[in-house]
Protein backbone atom coordinates (compact mmCIF):
# COMPACT_ATOMS: atom_id res chain seq x y z
CA UNK A 1 0.00 0.00 0.00
CA UNK A 2 1.29 3.47 -0.90
CA UNK A 3 2.06 5.58 2.16
CA UNK A 4 0.15 8.84 2.20
CA UNK A 5 3.37 10.84 2.77
CA UNK A 6 4.50 9.88 -0.73
CA UNK A 7 1.24 10.57 -2.57
CA UNK A 8 1.75 14.30 -3.07
CA UNK A 9 5.44 13.93 -3.93
CA UNK A 10 4.59 11.21 -6.45
CA UNK A 11 2.10 13.50 -8.17
CA UNK A 12 4.42 16.51 -8.03
CA UNK A 13 7.58 14.77 -9.26
CA UNK A 14 6.51 11.77 -11.33
CA UNK A 15 3.33 13.14 -12.92
CA UNK A 16 4.45 16.04 -15.13
CA UNK A 17 1.10 16.15 -16.95
CA UNK A 18 -0.69 16.82 -13.68
CA UNK A 19 1.74 19.58 -12.74
CA UNK A 20 1.47 21.08 -16.22
CA UNK A 21 -2.29 21.16 -15.84
CA UNK A 22 -1.99 22.88 -12.47
CA UNK A 23 0.42 25.42 -13.94
CA UNK A 24 -1.85 26.26 -16.90
CA UNK A 25 -4.94 26.48 -14.71
CA UNK A 26 -3.14 28.75 -12.23
CA UNK A 27 -1.82 30.96 -15.03
CA UNK A 28 -5.27 31.43 -16.57
CA UNK A 29 -6.91 31.98 -13.18
CA UNK A 30 -4.39 34.57 -11.96
CA UNK A 31 -4.51 36.40 -15.31
CA UNK A 32 -8.30 36.59 -15.33
CA UNK A 33 -8.42 37.64 -11.68
CA UNK A 34 -6.33 40.70 -12.46
CA UNK A 35 -8.54 42.04 -15.25
CA UNK A 36 -10.40 45.23 -14.43
CA UNK A 37 -13.77 44.02 -15.71
CA UNK A 38 -13.82 40.90 -13.55
CA UNK A 39 -15.22 40.66 -10.05
CA UNK A 40 -11.69 39.92 -8.73
CA UNK A 41 -10.08 42.97 -10.30
CA UNK A 42 -10.57 45.22 -7.29
CA UNK A 43 -9.41 42.51 -4.89
CA UNK A 44 -6.21 41.91 -6.85
CA UNK A 45 -5.44 45.62 -7.20
CA UNK A 46 -3.29 45.79 -4.02
CA UNK A 47 -1.18 42.92 -5.40
CA UNK A 48 -0.73 43.86 -9.07
CA UNK A 49 -1.47 47.58 -8.98
CA UNK A 50 -4.18 49.33 -10.94
CA UNK A 51 -5.66 46.77 -13.40
CA UNK A 52 -6.38 49.57 -15.88
CA UNK A 53 -2.69 50.50 -15.99
CA UNK A 54 -1.38 46.94 -16.02
CA UNK A 55 -3.36 45.93 -19.11
CA UNK A 56 -3.74 42.41 -20.45
CA UNK A 57 0.00 41.79 -20.91
CA UNK A 58 0.80 43.11 -17.46
CA UNK A 59 -1.82 40.86 -15.90
CA UNK A 60 -0.55 37.93 -17.96
CA UNK A 61 2.99 38.55 -16.70
CA UNK A 62 1.75 38.69 -13.13
CA UNK A 63 -0.26 35.51 -13.69
CA UNK A 64 2.81 33.79 -15.09
CA UNK A 65 4.94 34.71 -12.08
CA UNK A 66 2.27 33.63 -9.61
CA UNK A 67 1.69 30.36 -11.49
CA UNK A 68 5.41 29.59 -11.42
CA UNK A 69 5.61 30.34 -7.70
CA UNK A 70 2.58 28.12 -7.02
CA UNK A 71 3.99 25.21 -9.06
CA UNK A 72 7.46 25.45 -7.51
CA UNK A 73 5.84 25.68 -4.08
CA UNK A 74 3.91 22.44 -4.64
CA UNK A 75 6.98 20.59 -5.89
CA UNK A 76 9.24 21.74 -3.03
CA UNK A 77 6.70 21.03 -0.30
CA UNK A 78 6.04 17.57 -1.73
CA UNK A 79 9.44 16.32 -0.52
CA UNK A 80 8.67 17.14 3.12
CA UNK A 81 6.87 14.82 5.59
CA UNK A 82 3.10 15.10 5.68
CA UNK A 83 2.88 17.09 8.92
CA UNK A 84 5.31 19.70 7.58
CA UNK A 85 3.37 19.91 4.31
CA UNK A 86 0.17 20.61 6.22
CA UNK A 87 1.84 23.17 8.49
CA UNK A 88 3.46 25.09 5.65
CA UNK A 89 0.30 25.17 3.52
CA UNK A 90 -1.78 26.30 6.51
CA UNK A 91 0.74 29.07 7.20
CA UNK A 92 0.71 30.21 3.59
CA UNK A 93 -3.08 30.25 3.44
CA UNK A 94 -3.21 32.17 6.72
CA UNK A 95 -0.86 34.79 5.30
CA UNK A 96 -3.06 35.08 2.20
CA UNK A 97 -6.15 35.56 4.35
CA UNK A 98 -4.43 38.18 6.49
CA UNK A 99 -3.32 39.97 3.33
CA UNK A 100 -6.88 39.88 2.05
CA UNK A 101 -8.22 41.30 5.31
CA UNK A 102 -5.51 43.96 5.31
CA UNK A 103 -6.85 45.23 1.97
CA UNK A 104 -9.99 46.41 3.84
CA UNK A 105 -7.91 49.10 5.58
CA UNK A 106 -8.79 47.78 9.01
CA UNK A 107 -8.30 49.96 12.05
CA UNK A 108 -6.40 47.70 14.42
CA UNK A 109 -6.61 50.15 17.32
CA UNK A 110 -10.42 49.92 17.16
CA UNK A 111 -10.24 46.12 17.34
CA UNK A 112 -7.92 46.31 20.35
CA UNK A 113 -10.39 48.47 22.27
CA UNK A 114 -13.33 46.12 21.61
CA UNK A 115 -11.92 42.62 21.49
CA UNK A 116 -11.69 42.14 25.27
CA UNK A 117 -15.37 43.02 25.69
CA UNK A 118 -16.28 40.64 22.86
CA UNK A 119 -14.36 37.83 24.55
CA UNK A 120 -15.59 38.40 28.10
CA UNK A 121 -19.22 39.07 27.14
CA UNK A 122 -19.89 37.62 23.69
CA UNK A 123 -17.62 34.57 23.82
CA UNK A 124 -18.82 33.60 27.29
CA UNK A 125 -22.47 33.82 26.22
CA UNK A 126 -21.80 31.83 23.04
CA UNK A 127 -20.04 29.06 24.95
CA UNK A 128 -22.71 29.07 27.65
CA UNK A 129 -25.55 28.68 25.15
CA UNK A 130 -23.70 26.11 23.05
CA UNK A 131 -22.57 23.94 25.99
CA UNK A 132 -26.04 23.70 27.52
CA UNK A 133 -27.66 23.09 24.12
CA UNK A 134 -25.14 20.37 23.24
CA UNK A 135 -25.69 18.55 26.53
CA UNK A 136 -29.48 18.70 26.28
CA UNK A 137 -29.48 17.77 22.58
CA UNK A 138 -27.31 14.71 23.28
CA UNK A 139 -29.70 13.47 25.96
CA UNK A 140 -32.70 14.14 23.74
CA UNK A 141 -30.99 12.34 20.84
CA UNK A 142 -30.42 9.17 22.88
CA UNK A 143 -34.08 9.12 23.95
CA UNK A 144 -35.23 9.75 20.38
CA UNK A 145 -32.93 7.08 18.96
CA UNK A 146 -34.17 4.46 21.44
CA UNK A 147 -37.77 5.42 20.64
CA UNK A 148 -37.18 5.08 16.89
CA UNK A 149 -35.67 1.63 17.42
CA UNK A 150 -38.53 0.58 19.69
CA UNK A 151 -41.26 -1.78 18.62
CA UNK A 152 -43.76 0.45 20.42
CA UNK A 153 -45.75 2.24 17.73
CA UNK A 154 -46.62 5.20 19.97
CA UNK A 155 -42.98 5.89 20.86
CA UNK A 156 -41.84 5.45 17.26
CA UNK A 157 -44.55 7.79 15.97
CA UNK A 158 -43.63 10.57 18.40
CA UNK A 159 -39.89 10.24 17.69
CA UNK A 160 -40.32 10.12 13.91
CA UNK A 161 -42.68 13.11 13.95
CA UNK A 162 -40.23 15.04 16.10
CA UNK A 163 -37.25 14.40 13.83
CA UNK A 164 -39.25 15.14 10.68
CA UNK A 165 -40.71 18.40 12.01
CA UNK A 166 -37.58 19.96 13.50
CA UNK A 167 -35.35 18.90 10.62
CA UNK A 168 -37.86 20.28 8.15
CA UNK A 169 -38.11 23.83 9.56
CA UNK A 170 -35.25 26.36 9.40
CA UNK A 171 -33.56 26.98 12.74
CA UNK A 172 -34.15 30.72 12.49
CA UNK A 173 -37.89 30.12 12.17
CA UNK A 174 -37.82 27.80 15.18
CA UNK A 175 -36.17 30.54 17.24
CA UNK A 176 -38.88 33.01 16.26
CA UNK A 177 -41.68 30.50 16.86
CA UNK A 178 -40.45 29.76 20.37
CA UNK A 179 -39.53 33.31 21.38
CA UNK A 180 -42.51 35.08 19.80
CA UNK A 181 -45.06 32.27 19.68
CA UNK A 182 -44.89 30.96 23.24
CA UNK A 183 -46.04 34.28 24.81
CA UNK A 184 -49.21 34.08 22.72
CA UNK A 185 -49.93 30.78 24.46
CA UNK A 186 -49.35 32.36 27.86
CA UNK A 187 -45.73 31.23 28.37
CA UNK A 188 -43.30 34.15 28.40
CA UNK A 189 -39.77 32.92 27.80
CA UNK A 190 -36.57 34.98 27.91
CA UNK A 191 -34.22 35.26 24.96
CA UNK A 192 -31.44 33.00 26.26
CA UNK A 193 -33.71 30.08 27.27
CA UNK A 194 -35.56 30.46 23.97
CA UNK A 195 -32.30 30.21 22.04
CA UNK A 196 -31.16 27.19 24.05
CA UNK A 197 -34.52 25.46 23.56
CA UNK A 198 -34.49 26.08 19.82
CA UNK A 199 -30.91 24.81 19.40
CA UNK A 200 -31.65 21.77 21.57
CA UNK A 201 -34.78 20.76 19.66
CA UNK A 202 -33.24 21.38 16.24
CA UNK A 203 -29.93 19.61 16.78
CA UNK A 204 -31.48 16.93 18.94
CA UNK A 205 -33.51 15.91 15.87
CA UNK A 206 -30.41 15.63 13.69
CA UNK A 207 -28.43 13.83 16.37
CA UNK A 208 -31.30 11.38 16.94
CA UNK A 209 -30.63 9.91 13.51
CA UNK A 210 -26.90 9.77 14.22
CA UNK A 211 -27.41 7.87 17.48
CA UNK A 212 -30.02 5.62 15.88
CA UNK A 213 -27.62 4.61 13.10
CA UNK A 214 -24.82 4.00 15.61
CA UNK A 215 -26.96 1.85 17.92
CA UNK A 216 -28.44 -0.02 14.97
CA UNK A 217 -24.95 -0.94 13.74
CA UNK A 218 -24.43 -3.18 16.78
CA UNK A 219 -25.38 -6.79 16.18
CA UNK A 220 -28.59 -7.96 17.84
CA UNK A 221 -26.64 -10.79 19.43
CA UNK A 222 -25.09 -8.23 21.79
CA UNK A 223 -28.55 -7.42 23.14
CA UNK A 224 -29.46 -11.08 23.50
CA UNK A 225 -26.20 -11.86 25.27
CA UNK A 226 -26.71 -9.02 27.73
CA UNK A 227 -30.24 -10.18 28.49
CA UNK A 228 -29.00 -13.73 29.10
CA UNK A 229 -26.59 -12.28 31.69
CA UNK A 230 -29.46 -10.48 33.41
CA UNK A 231 -28.45 -6.96 32.36
CA UNK A 232 -31.18 -4.36 32.31
CA UNK A 233 -31.79 -2.00 29.39
CA UNK A 234 -29.94 0.96 30.93
CA UNK A 235 -26.90 -1.12 31.91
CA UNK A 236 -26.77 -2.71 28.46
CA UNK A 237 -26.81 0.68 26.77
CA UNK A 238 -24.14 2.19 29.04
CA UNK A 239 -21.71 -0.72 29.19
CA UNK A 240 -22.17 -2.63 25.93
CA UNK A 241 -24.06 -0.85 23.14
CA UNK A 242 -22.96 2.80 23.38
CA UNK A 243 -19.22 2.12 23.89
CA UNK A 244 -19.17 -0.05 20.74
CA UNK A 245 -21.19 2.42 18.68
CA UNK A 246 -19.13 5.46 19.68
CA UNK A 247 -16.59 5.17 16.82
CA UNK A 248 -19.51 5.60 14.39
CA UNK A 249 -21.35 8.22 16.42
CA UNK A 250 -18.50 10.59 17.33
CA UNK A 251 -17.46 11.92 13.86
CA UNK A 252 -20.93 13.11 12.74
CA UNK A 253 -21.79 14.22 16.28
CA UNK A 254 -18.63 16.32 16.40
CA UNK A 255 -19.68 17.97 13.15
CA UNK A 256 -23.06 18.74 14.68
CA UNK A 257 -21.38 20.32 17.72
CA UNK A 258 -19.31 22.57 15.46
CA UNK A 259 -22.38 23.49 13.42
CA UNK A 260 -24.32 24.27 16.60
CA UNK A 261 -21.53 26.53 17.85
CA UNK A 262 -21.77 28.58 14.66
CA UNK A 263 -25.56 28.47 14.49
CA UNK A 264 -25.71 29.91 18.01
CA UNK A 265 -25.09 33.22 16.21
CA UNK A 266 -28.73 33.04 15.02
CA UNK A 267 -29.98 33.75 18.54
CA UNK A 268 -28.63 37.28 18.08
CA UNK A 269 -31.86 38.06 16.21
CA UNK A 270 -33.74 37.95 19.51
CA UNK A 271 -31.24 40.19 21.32
CA UNK A 272 -28.91 37.69 22.99
CA UNK A 273 -25.53 39.29 23.63
CA UNK A 274 -23.42 36.63 21.95
CA UNK A 275 -20.54 37.15 19.50
CA UNK A 276 -22.59 37.98 16.42
CA UNK A 277 -24.84 40.43 18.27
CA UNK A 278 -21.86 42.30 19.72
CA UNK A 279 -20.06 42.32 16.36
CA UNK A 280 -23.05 44.06 14.78
CA UNK A 281 -23.78 46.51 17.57
CA UNK A 282 -20.16 47.52 18.25
CA UNK A 283 -19.52 47.95 14.55
CA UNK A 284 -22.65 50.04 14.01
CA UNK A 285 -21.67 52.66 16.58
CA UNK A 286 -18.49 53.71 14.78
CA UNK A 287 -19.25 52.41 11.28
CA UNK A 288 -16.40 49.90 11.59
CA UNK A 289 -18.37 46.84 10.53
CA UNK A 290 -15.56 44.85 8.93
CA UNK A 291 -13.31 45.14 12.00
CA UNK A 292 -15.93 43.58 14.26
CA UNK A 293 -17.18 40.99 11.77
CA UNK A 294 -13.67 39.77 10.99
CA UNK A 295 -12.82 39.67 14.70
CA UNK A 296 -15.94 37.61 15.42
CA UNK A 297 -15.12 35.33 12.48
CA UNK A 298 -11.62 34.70 13.83
CA UNK A 299 -12.99 33.91 17.29
CA UNK A 300 -15.52 31.46 15.83
CA UNK A 301 -12.75 29.87 13.80
CA UNK A 302 -10.51 29.43 16.85
CA UNK A 303 -13.39 27.81 18.71
CA UNK A 304 -14.07 25.37 15.89
CA UNK A 305 -10.36 24.50 15.67
CA UNK A 306 -10.42 23.65 19.38
CA UNK A 307 -13.51 21.48 18.91
CA UNK A 308 -11.88 19.72 15.95
CA UNK A 309 -8.83 18.90 18.08
CA UNK A 310 -11.03 17.59 20.89
CA UNK A 311 -13.05 15.54 18.42
CA UNK A 312 -9.96 13.96 16.87
CA UNK A 313 -8.62 13.11 20.32
CA UNK A 314 -11.90 11.43 21.31
CA UNK A 315 -11.96 9.51 18.03
CA UNK A 316 -8.45 8.19 18.65
CA UNK A 317 -9.47 7.20 22.17
CA UNK A 318 -12.41 5.09 21.01
CA UNK A 319 -10.44 3.58 18.11
CA UNK A 320 -7.75 2.35 20.49
CA UNK A 321 -7.52 -1.47 20.94
CA UNK A 322 -9.14 -1.48 24.40
CA UNK A 323 -12.28 -0.02 22.84
Question: Which string of DSSP letters, residue by residue, matches 205-273?
Answer: HHHHHHHHHHHHTS-HHHHHHHHHTT--HHHHIIIIIHHHHHHHHHHHHHHHHHHHHHHGGGGGGGT--
- pLDDT band at residue 101 using 50, 70 and 90 as cut-offs: confident
Residue 177: what pLDDT? 92
Domains of the chain are: 4-102 (no CATH), 108-319 (1.10.3720.10)
Report which of 178, 161, 171, 165 is spatially closest to residue 264, judged by C-alpha positions. Answer: 171
DSSP 309: H
More confident position, 79 or 183 = 183
Looking at residue 178, what DSSP letter applies? I
Region 23-49: mean pLDDT is 53
Q: Quick check: pTM over 0.95?
A: no
Split at pLDDT 50, 70, 90, the class of 39 is: very low
The answer, yes or no, to whether residue 130 has pLDDT greater than 50, is yes
pLDDT at 38: 46
Q: If DSSP states are collapsed to H, E and C, what string results for 258-290?
A: HHHHHHHHHHHHHCCCCHHHHHHHHHHHHCCHH
Q: 200-248: per-residue pLDDT in tens?
A: 999 999 999 999 988 888 887 787 788 787 787 778 887 888 888 888 8
Kindly report, residue by residue over 253-276, the tens digit of the pLDDT: 889 999 998 888 888 888 887 888
- CA dist 70 and 306 (Å) reads 30
Amino acid sequence: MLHRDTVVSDIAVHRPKVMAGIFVAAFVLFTLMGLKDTIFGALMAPVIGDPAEAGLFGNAATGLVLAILLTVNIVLIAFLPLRYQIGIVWLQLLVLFLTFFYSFDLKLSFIQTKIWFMITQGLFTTLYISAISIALASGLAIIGAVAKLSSNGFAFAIASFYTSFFRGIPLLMQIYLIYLGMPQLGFVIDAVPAGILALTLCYGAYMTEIFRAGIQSIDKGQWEASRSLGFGFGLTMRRIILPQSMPLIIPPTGNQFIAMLKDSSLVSVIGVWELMFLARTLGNKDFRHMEMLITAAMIYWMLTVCLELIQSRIERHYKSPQH
